[in-house]
Structures are given as structure tokens and as C-alpha cells.
């Protein structure tokens, strides 16, 4: 963290109106992505009006004053990846736009960017209207939208234009997975990326090879591997990494900037880093998730269906327990730029739709409430990054990429007063019993994290105060995200100034990438694991809870530490007994 004094400013006279909409935060340490400095912050009507020394402002009586001595005053978090009340298969995510944004605010996040996901053949504009009608009356903080491109046609192409030009959407998510549902082929991806580029938008990609996943899932189910462990087995690291690599090249071929959502593995993270190096910091940006930074795929081997299924999202958490720290280091090095949550929560009864068939478990986990604290704990408290970097990866970079900076993601005069007064020393223990989500499970259960939002202001409204959360349903506004983000396009179009920081950071990139490669644990392809010898005996059978594939619903003897120990020594998943003991096959 740097410590710069703010420029001297003229003394600002403040005229008293209503104390309700005027807040004065004094004695805090302001932290922005580029610098940190001691300053007071004055807010009026939801806008930051003053940032500077106490001596340079006359604060009238009656203004709400918050003493931030010993605390950090940071821009509220921006979660660029949520799915509130998403219909997914036969389930609807239980965190709706009220509970989801309330949880966000409780954790220090003051803006979310959610995804409109039209059905195949559905008009994107119709879907956009539907999502707006869900969100507008419920949101407790500001929000924006990305829109999914789940099929491709001339009408979709035209509607992307309307969304960009008239409806405040600059970013579009494509899927290389979810075969038969959302997946696009390479030819369509090229056309989509080309169209987005022509509008100066930002393409996004869910990068997993859906064809491989479909084949592996079919094979695993046929072998009787039907429990949650089959999820990760059907879509291992290289299945994600291959798609990241391909997507980056497809985007580059048509000159389109690409934001890779939810990078979940070391291999995929390296592909993003490699592409950024290859293209001199242009074109490619990467996001990882609170889930990937805070927990790992050992949970899929838990014998208790509910526990394992609650951790299922796509791409999955990885069994390699060194993944979270590795991804955090990629963030610290600007190889990845943002942290989202992919908050998409389902309750136990909904996850049980996948009993007997892991492909039917609704995908998604929590994270919008705990993202900020987790990144602080695993990033700043662990000594891997400083507070300015924390602000960059939890707020400012998302604001820049999606073109709402400095309205959001910044403590500066004229910015929206989305502010967090952060206590870096305070701790809290995460639990489903105290979280603000509507869901009955928390994937970070029991973790104690440093970094607590003592006050959270949403556009100047104090919504969190010493642990008390008082949000206002419908208070949030839709924030349009205009096309041509300078952060993305200046670099892409060769603005030398914009390229500077990336080039510096990528100075010894080749050596660095070679070192990163050494961290990848080789994995065995699923076809080899399931192969049969001439006597009809399979070899190297992966995790299997019971021969019938239905997992035991009783309490398990699962020990996370034992699982982590096992994972640490294995080079592939072929040699260990399944968590429920040896069943049959090739343990």
C-alpha cells in the first residue's frame, strides 16, 4: 500500500439540508486501486462530494458522522458474476434479487452484475425485460446485466445491437459447455465474437469443452458412478484449460476482447496468463471465484450426498488443494483481473434432484456475501497482496472492464457513494446460521476470516452498521454499462499509455509461465480410468460411493483433513479408496 497525501484543496463550505442523506466519514485510510492515503470523505445525496484533509472542509452540525479511525475506507465491492433467482433445469435459485443483494451488502458488496440467460429460441430482449421485472422491485444495491448468448441467428445478432445501443448492456456471455442447452460451436462463437467486436462490446466465455463433458458423463453413469464425485471427474482441469485456450484464440482471430468467467483451475489460469502474455496484455481478461479461492474439490468425495452436492458448480472446484493459493497468486500478479462469486444457490431438496445422476444436480454455490472477506483473508491477510490490489480485484477492475469507472469502484469526488468502512483486524466466522442468503448451506461453513465491513453505504445510505444489516428492498438502480470500455479498448487499439502497466508486469513472463507449468498435477483421462482389461476387469476406477451409485444419505465419516492429505500426495485419482471404503472395481 502506498501512502500519498491528497492534493491540497480549497476549503469546501457544506450547506445543511437533511442529515439523512449526508454522511461524513472521518479519520479513515482511503484505499483506492492505485493509492492509499489518509482522508475524510463527505457524502451528500448519494454522491461523494469531498475527499481530503479535515482542515479543508467545514462540516455543518447534524450530519451523520462515522469515525473510521484505524479503519480502511474503500469502494464497495462489485461482484461481476451472480445468478439471482436463476431458473436452472427444474429448479430456481433460492437467492432472489432481494436476498441475494441483501447478502451482498452485508458482506461489503454494493453492486452486482447478474446474467440474463434467455432460453434457446427466446428473444434476448424479452428475457432482458423479464430479468428487469424480477430485479427492479427487489434489488437492495445497484446492479447491471450481462446477457447470455445461448443460440445464434440473425435476430440474435440484431438484438445484441439493441442491447448495446439502447439497453445498457455491453457484455455477453457465451458457453462452450452445457451441450444441448447453452453450448455454441466454434463457428457460432466466431460469429458472436465478431458481432460483439463490431459494437465495441466485451465477450465473455464459460470455457469448458461440452462435448468431452457429455461423453465422460455418459460413460461414468454407465459405469455406475452416479454420485457428486462424477461431476468433477467428467470435467477435469484439462477440459477447462483446452476450452480457455481455444476461446482465447477464437476471440483473437476476430479481434474481440474476451473476459473468461469463473477460472477454476491452475491449468485454466495458466492458459489465461499465457494468452495475456501472447497478446501483450490485450484482448484477454480473467475472473476467478470466491469458491475457488476459499475451498476445493475434496468435498466431492464426501460420502454425504447433501454435503458433496452443495459444492457442485461448473467448472467444478478442483481436487488439487494448492489451487486456491495458486489462483490468488495469479490475481496478485494481474494474470487474473477480477473475483466474482457466481452466486447461484440451491437448497438441499433442489440439489437432491440429482440423486442417482450427478448431471441433474443443479449447478451453483453461494459466495456473494463472503467474497470480500475471503479475498481479504486469503489474499491480504495471507500476505499475497496489499489493500490496493484487494480493491482492484474486488471492485475497480470490474468497474473498468464493464465501463462504469469512476462512477463505481473508486473513492473520489463525483463517484457514487458506495463505500465500505473495513476493519482489517476484526474477524468473523462464516455460517449458514448467520448468513443473509436464503439458502440452507454455506460452502465456507466454519471458516474464520479477517476483514469485516463495519459500515456499508449504498449510494450514501448506511445499510450495514456494526453488524446490523438494514437494506431497503428496491433501493438499487439498474446501472447501464456503456460500450467501448477505455480500459479494454485503448489497450486493444494500441494506446501506448494504456499498455504500459501490463508490459511492465509481464516483464519476465516467459520464465514465470514455465515455472507455473511445473505446478500442474498430471491427470488421467477418464477413458483410461474406466478401461477394461481382456478379462473384463476395469482398472483405476475413480471415486465411487456405492455400486448402485446412490450415495449414502447417513452422516459420513468424512474427514476433510484426511482428504486433503490424500490429495496432496496423489498424482492422479486412481490409487485411493473411495470415501465410503472399497466398493468394487479398481481401488
* C-beta of 110 vs 363, nearer to ligand URQ: 363
* C-beta of 41 vs 192, nearer to ligand URQ: 192
For the bound state, the minimum distance from the C-beta of residue 528 to Zn ion, rounded and expressed in Å, comes to 28
Contact call for residues 294 and 379 (beta carbons, < 8 A): no
Q: Per CB under 6 A, does 234 bind ligand URQ? A: no
Stretch that binds Zn ion, among 135-143, 266-274, 338-346, 403-411 (CB under 5 A): 338-346
* C-beta of 32 vs 267, nearer to ligand URQ: 267
Q: Per CB under 6 A, does 344 bind ligand URQ? A: yes
* C-beta of 175 vs 326, nearer to ligand URQ: 175
313 binds, among ligand URQ, Zn ion, none (CB under 5 to 8 A by kind): ligand URQ
306 binds, among Zn ion, ligand URQ, none (CB under 5 to 8 A by kind): none
Nearest to 359 by CA among 531, 170, 219, 515: 219
For the bound state, the minimum distance from the C-beta of residue 261 to ligand URQ, rounded and expressed in Å, comes to 7
Burial of 22 (0-12, 13-18, 19+ CB in 10 A): buried
Nearest to 204 by CA among 117, 131, 273, 142: 117
Among 206, 245, 351, 371, binds ligand URQ (CB under 6 A): 206
Among 40, 237, 342, 454, binds Zn ion (CB under 5 A): 342
For the bound state, the minimum distance from the C-beta of residue 93 to ligand URQ, rounded and expressed in Å, comes to 9
Nearest to 84 by CA among 360, 339, 345, 288: 345
- From residue 232, give the alpha-carbon distance in Å to each of 296, 307, 583: 11, 15, 20
363 binds, among Zn ion, ligand URQ, none (CB under 5 to 8 A by kind): ligand URQ
The single residue listed with the C-alpha cell 462489485 is 78
Among 82, 171, 363, 389, binds ligand URQ (CB under 6 A): 363
**Within 466-495, which residues bind Zn ion (CB under 5 A)?**
none
Binding pattern for the stretch 303-322 against ligand URQ, x by CB under 6 A and - elsewhere: ----------xx--------
For the bound state, the minimum distance from the C-beta of residue 503 to ligand URQ, rounded and expressed in Å, comes to 32
Distance CA 302, CA 445 (A): 15
The alpha helices in 484-552, defined as continuous H runs, are 486-492, 496-505, 509-517, 526-529
Is the backbone of residue 311 left (phi > 0), alpha (psi -120 to 50) or beta? alpha
240 binds, among Zn ion, ligand URQ, none (CB under 5 to 8 A by kind): none
**Residues with Cβ within 8 Å of residue 218, at least 6 apart in sequence:** none
The single residue listed with the C-alpha cell 463505500 is 419
For the bound state, the minimum distance from the C-beta of residue 146 to Zn ion, rounded and expressed in Å, comes to 10
408 binds, among ligand URQ, Zn ion, none (CB under 5 to 8 A by kind): none
Contact call for residues 540 and 574 (beta carbons, < 8 A): yes
228 binds, among Zn ion, ligand URQ, none (CB under 5 to 8 A by kind): none
Stretch that binds Zn ion, among 61-69, 90-98, 201-209, 460-468 (CB under 5 A): 201-209
Q: Count of CB atoms within 10 A of residue 332's CB?
A: 20
Query: Residue 208 phi/psi, 5° resolution?
Result: -150, 145
For the bound state, the minimum distance from the C-beta of residue 343 to ligand URQ, rounded and expressed in Å, comes to 9
Nearest to 205 by CA among 234, 158, 247: 247
For the bound state, the minimum distance from the C-beta of residue 421 to ligand URQ, rounded and expressed in Å, comes to 31
Nearest to 161 by CA among 184, 132, 195, 190: 195
For the bound state, the minimum distance from the C-beta of residue 499 to ligand URQ, rounded and expressed in Å, comes to 31
Q: Which residues of 450-469 are buried (b: 16+ CB within 10 A; e: fewer)?
A: bbbbbbbbbbbbbbbeeeeb
Q: Per CB under 5 A, does 208 bind Zn ion? A: no
Contact call for residues 401 and 104 (beta carbons, < 8 A): no
For the bound state, the minimum distance from the C-beta of residue 368 to Zn ion, rounded and expressed in Å, comes to 12
Among 229, 335, 342, 418, binds ligand URQ (CB under 6 A): 342
364 binds, among ligand URQ, Zn ion, none (CB under 5 to 8 A by kind): ligand URQ
Size of site (CB under 6 A) for ligand URQ: 9
Take residue 261 and report the three cell numbers written for it.
468467467
Give strand pairing partners of 333: none
Q: Per CB under 6 A, does 271 bind ligand URQ? A: no
Q: Which residues of 541-572 are buried (b: 16+ CB within 10 A; e: fewer)?
A: bbbbbbeebebeeeebebeeeebeebbeeeeb
Q: Per CB under 5 A, does 206 bind Zn ion? A: yes
**Within 57-116, which residues bind ligand URQ (CB under 6 A)?**
83
Rg (CA), the chain: 24
For the bound state, the minimum distance from the C-beta of residue 251 to Zn ion, rounded and expressed in Å, comes to 16
350 binds, among Zn ion, ligand URQ, none (CB under 5 to 8 A by kind): none
Size of site (CB under 5 A) for Zn ion: 2
* C-beta of 210 vs 379, nearer to ligand URQ: 210
Q: Count of CB atoms within 10 A of residue 494's CB?
A: 10
For the bound state, the minimum distance from the C-beta of residue 508 to Zn ion, rounded and expressed in Å, comes to 32
* Site residues (vs ligand URQ, CB under 6 A): 83, 206, 262, 313-314, 342, 344, 363-364
**Site residues (vs Zn ion, CB under 5 A):** 206, 342
Amino acid at each position: 500500500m502506498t501512502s500519498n497525501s491528497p492534493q491540497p484543496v480549497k476549503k469546501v463550505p457544506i450547506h445543511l439540508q437533511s442529515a439523512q442523506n449526508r454522511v461524513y466519514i472521518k479519520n479513515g485510510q482511503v484505499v483506492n486501486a492505485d493509492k492509499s492515503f489518509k482522508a475524510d470523505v463527505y457524502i451528500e445525496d448519494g454522491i461523494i462530494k469531498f475527499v481530503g484533509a479535515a482542515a479543508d472542509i467545514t462540516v455543518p452540525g447534524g450530519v451523520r458522522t462515522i469515525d473510521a479511525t484505524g479503519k480502511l475506507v474503500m469502494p464497495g465491492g462489485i461482484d461481476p458474476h451472480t445468478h439471482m433467482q436463476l431458473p436452472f433445469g427444474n429448479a430456481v435459485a433460492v437467492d432472489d434479487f432481494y436476498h441475494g443483494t441483501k447478502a451482498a451488502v452485508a458482506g461489503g458488496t454494493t453492486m452486482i452484475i447478474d446474467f440474463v440467460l434467455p432460453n434457446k429460441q427466446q428473444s434476448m430482449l424479452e428475457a432482458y425485460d423479464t430479468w428487469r421485472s424480477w430485479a427492479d422491485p427487489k434489488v437492495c444495491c445497484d446492479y447491471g446485466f450481462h446477457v447470455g448468448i445461448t443460440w445464434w441467428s440473425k435476430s440474435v445478432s440484431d438484438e445484441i445491437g439493441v442491447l448495446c445501443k439502447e439497453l445498457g448492456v455491453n457484455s455477453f456471455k457465451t458457453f462452450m459447455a452445457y451441450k444441448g442447452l447453452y453450448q455454441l460451436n466454434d463457428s457460432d462463437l466466431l460469429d458472436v465474437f465478431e458481432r460483439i467486436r463490431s459494437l465495441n462490446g466485451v465477450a465473455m466465455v464459460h470455457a469448458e469443452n461440452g462435448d468431452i463433458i457429455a461423453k465422460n458423463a455418459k460413460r461414468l453413469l454407465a459405469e455406475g458412478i452416479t454420485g457428486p464425485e462424477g461431476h468433477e471427474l467428467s470435467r477435469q482441469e484439462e477440459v477447462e484449460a483446452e476450452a480457455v485456450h481455444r476461446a482465447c484464440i477464437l476471440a483473437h482471430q476476430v479481434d474481440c476482447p474476451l473476459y473468461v468467467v469463473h477460472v477454476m483451475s491452475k491449468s485454466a489460469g495458466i492458459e489465461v496468463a499465457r494468452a495475456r502474455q501472447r497478446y501483450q496484455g490485450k484482448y484477454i481478461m480473467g475472473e476467478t471465484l470466491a469458491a475457488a479461492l476459499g475451498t476445493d474439490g475434496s468435498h466431492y468425495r464426501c460420502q454425504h450426498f447433501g454435503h458433496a452436492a452443495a459444492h457442485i458448480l461448473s467448472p467444478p472446484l478442483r481436487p488439487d488443494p494448492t489451487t486456491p493459493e495458486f489462483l490468488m497468486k495469479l490475481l496478485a500478479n494481474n494474470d487474473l483481473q477480477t473475483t466474482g462469486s457466481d452466486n447461484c444457490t440451491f437448497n438441499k431438496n433442489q440439489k437432491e434432484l440429482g440423486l442417482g445422476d450427478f448431471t441433474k444436480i443443479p449447478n451453483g454455490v453461494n459466495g456473494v456475501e463472503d467474497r470480500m472477506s475471503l479475498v481479504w483473508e486469503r489474499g491480504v491477510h495471507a500476505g499475497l497482496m496489499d489493500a490496493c490490489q484487494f480493491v482492484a480485484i474486488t471492485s475497480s477492475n470490474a468497474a473498468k472492464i464493464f465501463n462504469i469507472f469512476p462512477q463505481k469502484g473508486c473513492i473520489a469526488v463525483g463517484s457514487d457513494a458506495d463505500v465500505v468502512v473495513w476493519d482489517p483486524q476484526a474477524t468473523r466466522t462464516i455460517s449458514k446460521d448467520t448468513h443473509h442468503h436464503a439458502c440452507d448451506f454455506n460452502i465456507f461453513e466454519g471458516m474464520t476470516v479477517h476483514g469485516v465491513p463495519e459500515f456499508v453505504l449504498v449510494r450514501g445510505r448506511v445499510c450495514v452498521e456494526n453488524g446490523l444489516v438494514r437494506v431497503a428492498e428496491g433501493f438499487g438502480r439498474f446501472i447501464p454499462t456503456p460500450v467501448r470500455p477505455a480500459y479494454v479498448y485503448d489497450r486493444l487499439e494500441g494506446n501506448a499509455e494504456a499498455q504500459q502497466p501490463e508490459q511492465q508486469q509481464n516483464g519476465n513472463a516467459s520464465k514465470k509461465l514455465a515455472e507455473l507449468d511445473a505446478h500442474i498435477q498430471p491427470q488421467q483421462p477418464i477413458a483410461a480410468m474406466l478401461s477394461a482389461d481382456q478379462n473384463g476387469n476395469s482398472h483405476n476406477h475413480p471415486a465411487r460411493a456405492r455400486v448402485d451409485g446412490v450415495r449414502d444419505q447417513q452422516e459420513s465419516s468424512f474427514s476433510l483433513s484426511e482428504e486433503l492429505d490424500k490429495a496432496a500426495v496423489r498424482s492422479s485419482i486412481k490409487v485411493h479408496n473411495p470415501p465410503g471404503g472399497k466398493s468394487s472395481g479398481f481401488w
